[in-house]
Structure 1
Amino acid sequence: MSMEAKALLRSSNTSEENLFEKIKPHAELIAALLSGVLILAGWLLDRSEMEAASIAAYLLAFIIGGFAKAKEGIEETIENKELNVEMLMIFAAIGSAIIGYWTEGAILIFIFAVSGALETYTMNKSHKEISSLMELQPEEALRIIDGSEERIHVSELKIGDLILVKPGERVPSDGTIVKGHSSLDEAAITGESLPVSKQADDQVFAGTVNLNGSITVEITKPNNETLFQKIIELVQSAQSEKSPSQLFIEKFEGTYVKAVLAVVVLMMFAPHFLLGWSWTETFYRSMILLVVASPCALVASIMPATLSAISNGAKHGILFKGGVHLENLSHLKAIAFDKTGTLTKGKPEVTDVVVKDGLSREDLLLKVASIESHSNHPLANAIVKYAKETLSESLIRPESIEDVSGYGVKAKIGHDEWKIGKASFVGKSEAKAFADGAADRMASEGKTVVFVQKNNEVIGLISLKDVVREETKQAIDLLKKQGIYTIMLTGDSQTTAAAIASESHVNEHIAECLPENKVEHLKGLKEKYSNVAMVGDGINDAPALATANVGIAMGEGTDVALETADVVLMKNDLPKIADAIELSSRMNRIIKQNVIFSITVIMFLIASNFLQILDLPYGVIGHEGSTILVILNSLRLLRS
């Protein structure tokens, strides 16, 4: 064979494979539609008195339309040793054919195939978020070694590697920017459409898009442990985990199917002897009962709704680790919040700078920041950050610095001696009296006060506060409107806790709460409110997250918190909790509608059959139509 012929054959094979891959997701629907065409052909042939050809067309409709569902039903029956809905449909279709109702049996298979295709569509739709996420992860990275660049597979990246991410490229693995600045589209991670500005020392995540500037990133996590990978695993796990309602329905299905078959067998004989029905009528009514009593709509009431809701949440940056947690959210009576990093930003910020009359505020801030720049304490870092943002002058270098552990820092600039720290470090009475007792007033507002002493005289103070997030009040108010009681847990003093609680609008606060006490407090809250959620972000929150009925972790929190929690907010957006609860309520409401509707239809159709006013075609349409309506109702949850 020539090279050209081989190339042509390879091209032909590739085209066939691509066509098959495109058709594969729609195979059930195509089979159902083909079955419908064959039913029409069978009916036309029957009208033309071509009985043999008509039966052949119906048989093909049975095989093509019913193959997928029959295979599924037989495999599950063998695996679980339990009869299921699919087996009822097979029996009903065969029974219809036996008594000569080929058209009705074929229509039953056709509508059952359509409802199956619709259910598969729902599953595929729910998995679409995962598929699209997995496609976003790049396969290659540009690694920098000794100034030269080499393109490697992302699996070869190691912690500490430096990579170059150019404009328009996706970040291949989690890391920290060491050089350059840019805007990144983090929609795949947080669900937020607006780009986020990033510069040196900022974190970047795998799967996010670098929009406009080249950045050099130091890898901090291997490719298989990135936040992006965790999202994929979380949603995949959630879609495989079944809710309590779904588990109950599946358990109920096996018993119900046995009961239906027992009643059908009884009905094949009892009406003939007790009511004088003909054998044909008795068997006909038995087949109708087999169709209409099947709990297809009831079985389809929950899973499509749960999957649709999980997909909706993933699309908006709310990850549920399973249907059970999604179902439980709407039953919450109270939510406990960790303070630091959850209700607040988790980093102290300068709120006030008070200077002795006659002295320069800028000069004091410059000297204090110059001294504090040599410390790694969070308060010192916050003061330095504030000074750099507000001052035009560069920091200076002190002649000497001495750290006094637990109190503050001493330094010498020129001929002046400086002390920066607690009131007891600079003199309690002098510190308390400074600026007419400003320190006590600030402390009552939940602020931490740092005093500044120059040559044994207190000349200023700087207050700092772990600032409440802008969205916190909105989130708490939304939860209150939903009738949920809110509690803040914090290790801060009673004064600071009261100030933060008031500012964040929570109903109650528990102060001086050590990490090991949080679990005990959660147990107490569960006894009082029955269903309680815990929201946190740190390692010390993990036991409490596991103790609560529903644990909710902030997406920017620690890996331990993410792994322990039941729900993850990918962006630290507290109002999303109210959205998640609303989504849970919508899902439970739709499931309730589905269950009530499906049971009502089944009861109505059974009663109509016993009264001999229901024909098989209408029984098929009523039963399978209700299944399709239930699935369509569940698909409403995919909408925002």
Structure 2
Amino acid sequence: MLQGQLATINNEKITVSSKPRLEKILMHWELIAAIFSGLLIVIAWLFSKSNHESISIAFYLGAFIIGGFAKAKEGIEETIKNKDLNVELLMFFAAIGSAIIGYWAEGAMLIFIFSLSGALETYTTNKSKKEISSLLEIQPETAIRVVQGHEEKVHVSLLQVGDMIIVKPGERIPADGNIAQGTTTIDESTISGESIPVTKGNGAEVFAGTINLNGSVMVKVTKPANETVFNKIIQLVQSAQSEKSPSQLFIERFEGTYVKVVLLVVILMMLIPHFVFGWSWNTTFYRAMILLVVASPCALVASIMPATLSAISNGARKGILFKGGVHIEGLSHVKAIAFDKTGTLTKGKPEVTDLIVRPDVNEQSVLHFAASIENQSNHPLAQAIVQYWKAKSDEELLQPVQVDDVPGWGIKAKLNNQEWFIGKKDFVGMEEALAFEDGVAKKLESEGKTVVYVKNSYGIAAVIALQDIVRDETKNALLELKQEGIRTIMMTGDSENTAKNIAAVSQIDEYIAECLPETKVSSLKKVKEQFGIVAMVGDGVNDAPALATANVGIAMGEGSDVAMETADVVLMKNDLSRIAEAIRLSKKMNRIIKQNIIFSISVIVILIASNFLEFLNLPLGVVGHEGSTILVILNSLRCLGGGKS
């Protein structure tokens, strides 16, 4: 990107610098300061060994200032802002206290390790936000717009719905749209997380930020720059990273109270042992400083946020967008998942499953005639029959005459000197339809299929059965969820027969048929009463109320904008297997957080007990306390890996 270029996210302009080296240095300045602080400590120690005490103290003081500046500044600012004490101030007080009693090396070491752990935590945060910065770097800035046959280069913000743009091989698509001319292969990994390129032709939908690999295409813009799927991903990830989980909020509330208690106990520690146990003032103050160090909840405070941010980052990289830590934390507790049928478990479009013709009729001919007539209708069933013919034959469709499309019933027309009726049984003749081929239509309907009758001048010539087909990945995705111990439930507005058939094919645990949008909500409430924590998966506008009612709403990324806005988790690719992956990631994150909390509390308890028993000196206290913080953060980074631990 060029210097001065602006990326707009959530109505905020972010300047993208042309000085990556300087940016890289600034990104890691905390780590650089910590390392420099450590170098000063080594120099100070060498001077102390050569009996240059005053020079040694000067270098230790430099280590204090350089290593501790960032955390001291952060602690003071947070205290002023929140009007509450924090862990940074505890470390600041402990380091100063160590220096006061002459333990310059220990105080400097405390500052060094504390600043190092802080730099590591900052690295974790920056690492988790990598998706946004990488998206910003690949966001196209300009597009080639075609106006009355002339090409002009314009900024993407100037594109309007309906504009025609050219995208050449190797270029990123600058706006969401539909291919108006040409065929190409597109890398959609930035949107869906899927690395395998997709071949697309006329009418296919394309997304901003994806890569046009090998063909020049003309694209008709369907969304302005600020409403593209690409922009929504950035907004969702930003929102997720700023929203804190219940555990994190509890730790932050707990931190202020805990710090006050620690300071009170430290003050008591400075006084009571001298009078009760006969300790010297120097020993008492020394033990109080060790207590101040080891009782600080640094590791406990760092137990949650790095793990949460890492998990959100991991999910975003795979096309699973969590809208906040609360949702990724709650997903592991889900006991049952309710699914919408159409467009979620199924493809959302009817397909021909059966074609049964009268014995004296040529199957190819009757299908050709039926498809030619149905091509005059926009009804989804009619178009499914047309597509079925085109998949079987390259022969051109015929042109019928006297076409009469009767909404809700069927279509009639003249073709090949015959009058044809295509539609419901009432439209072609009830008795004749039911008697066709020993009532085969009744069997097809019992399987949940929609039956279309084809009649010519000689009677019923054929019946065509259609059905919304279960997605290829549905069965395996539901099996994965069952292996995670989750009950699966389908909610559909379809009839009992259709629901029963789809449930059998997909092997879902149970189904609820004939659901209206409002009955979906009431049905979902009953499921919640039975199972407790429940998720809902949907893609349509009619699913939005149920998505909002569920403990965790999961939207299919290719679904409606309303569903995506209402849901807590968005699957950018309509791949149901990502749900089980998201649950495994949630479980892994919660497991790591639990490990962090247990470990950090155990270390604090052991170190405090060792201090009271006078087994612990200040250097070991510093190493034990700050070492545990670093280990906790490193453990949290495991959430950046796969869903299994």
Equivalent residue for 2:402, pick from 380, 400, 404? 400
Aligned partner of 1:24 in structure 2 is 26
Q: 4+ residue runs of structure 1 moved beyond 6 angstroms?
A: none
Counterpart among 513, 518, 522 of residue 520 in structure 1: 522
Deviations 1:442-479 (A, max 9, x none): 11222111000101611101111100001000011111
Letter in 2 for 1:341: G
Q: Specify the SS of the correspondent of 1:417.
A: strand
What is the deviation of 1:516?
A: 2.0
Matches within 5 A, 1:290-439: 290-439=292-441
**Paired residues for 1:90-109 under 5 Å:** 90-109=92-111
After superposition, the Cα gap between the structure-2 partners of 1:15 and 1:435, relative to the gap in structure 1 and judged at 3 Å, is closer
Shift of 1:353: 1.2
RMSD over aligned Cα, in angstroms? 1.2
Match of 1:83 among 78, 82, 85: 85
TM-score by length of 1: 0.97
Residue aligning to 1:599: 601
Q: Which residue of 1 aligns with 2:223?
A: 221
The verdict on how the C-alpha distance between 1:18 and 1:455 changes in structure 2, with shifts beyond 3 A counting, is closer
1:546-625 matches, cutoff 5 A? 546-625=548-627
State how far apart, in whole Å, the 1-side matches of 2:399 and 2:300 are: 75
Contact 1:399 1:414 in 2 (8 A): no
- Provide the rounded CA distance (Å) in 1 between the counterparts of 2:211 and 2:18: 34
**Equivalence for 1:7:** none
Contact 1:179/1:215 (CA < 8 Å) preserved in 2?
A: yes
Aligned-residue offset at 1:91? 0.1
SS of corresponding position for 1:263 = helix
Matches for 1:255-274 after TM superposition, within 5 Å: 255-274=257-276
Q: CA deviation at 1:19?
A: 3.9
CA 1:39–1:150: 2 relative to 1, 3 Å: same
Query: Whole-Å Cα distance in 2 between the matches of residues 21 and 322 of structure 1?
Result: 28
> After the TM superposition, which of the residue ranges 588-597 and 401-410 deviates more from structure 2?
401-410
| Farther-moved stretch of structure 1 (405-414 vs 51-60) | 405-414
Alignment of 1:156 with 2:191, yes or no, is no
Aligned partner of residue 184 in structure 1, secondary structure: strand
- Per-residue deviation at 1:16? 11
What's the secondary structure of 1:237's corresponding residue? Answer: helix
* d(CA) in 1 for partners of 2:597, 2:542: 42
Q: Residue 362 of structure 1 contacts residue 391 of structure 1 at CA under 8 Å; is this kept in 2?
A: no
User: Which SS does the other structure have where 2:129 is aligned?
Assistant: helix
- State the match for 2:6 in structure 1: none
1:20, distance to aligned residue in structure 2 (A): 2.4
- CA distances 1:188-234 after superposition (whole Å, capped 9, x unpaired): 00000000010011100000000011000000000010000000000
Matches of 1:429 and 1:483 in 2, distance apart? 50
Q: How many residues align?
A: 627
Separation in 2, partners of 1:536, 1:456 = 46
1:464 aligns with 2:466: yes
2:130 maps to which residue? 128
Letter in 2 for 1:462: I
Aligned residue in 2 for 1:4 = none
Task: For 1:115 and 1:390, locate their aligned partners in 2 and report how far apart those are by CA, in whole Å.
Answer: 65
Does structure 2 retain, via aligned residues, the 8 Å contact 1:123–1:307? yes
Structure 1, unpaired ranges of 5+:
1-13
Aligned pair partner of 2:243 in 228, 233, 241: 241
C-alpha separation between the residues in 1 aligned to 2:154 and 2:610?
69
Task: Give me the whole-angstrom Cα distance separating, in 1, the residues matched to 2:447 and 2:150.
Answer: 54
Q: Secondary structure in 2 aligned to 1:269?
A: helix
- For 1:281, which of 274, 280, 283 is the aligned residue? 283
Q: Aligned residue for 1:10?
A: none
SS in 2 for 1:206: coil
What per-residue deviation string (whole Å, max 9, x for no partner) do you get for residues 315-343 of structure 1? 11100000000000110010000000000
Displacement after TM superposition at 1:391 (Å): 1.7
Quote the Cα distance in structure 2 between the aligned partners of 1:392 and 1:565. Answer: 43
Match of 1:212, SS state, is coil
In the alignment, residue 229 of structure 1 is paired with which amino acid?
A: N
- Structure 2 CA distance, aligned partners of 1:330 and 1:600? 25
**Residue of structure 2 in register with 1:66 after alignment:** 68
> Distance between the aligned counterparts of 1:556 and 1:52, measured in 2?
69
Partner of 1:629: 631
TM-superposed CA distance for 1:376, in Å, is 0.7
Give the Cα–Cα distance (whole angstroms) in 2 for the partners of residues 414 and 441 of structure 1. 31
Matches of 1:388 and 1:593 in 2, distance apart?
58
CA distance in 2, matches of 1:237, 1:405: 46
Q: Shift of residue 386 of structure 1? A: 1.1
Aligned residue for 1:184? 186
- In structure 2, do the counterparts of structure 1 residues 16 and 350 end up closer, same or farther at CA, with 3 Å as the change threshold? closer
Offset of residue 481 of structure 1: 1.1
Aligned to 2:55: 53
Question: CA, structure 1 residues 168+534, in 2 after alignment: closer, same or farther (shift >3 Å)?
Answer: same
Q: Which residue is 2:7 aligned to?
A: none
3-state SS of paired residue (2:261): helix
Which residue of 445, 448, 457 corresponds with 1:446? Answer: 448
Residue 407 of structure 1 contacts residue 422 of structure 1 at CA under 8 Å; is this kept in 2?
Answer: yes
Identity over aligned pairs, percent: 67
Deviation at 1:629, TM superposition (A): 0.2
d(CA) in 2 for partners of 1:386 and 1:405? 22
In 2, distance between residues paired with 1:160 and 1:135?
Answer: 26
SS of the residue corresponding to residue 28 of structure 2 reads: helix
Q: TM-score, normalised by structure 2?
A: 0.96
Contact kept, 8 Å, 1:555 with 1:562, in 2: the verdict is: yes
Q: Check conservation: 1:350, 1:386, Cα contact below 8 A.
A: yes
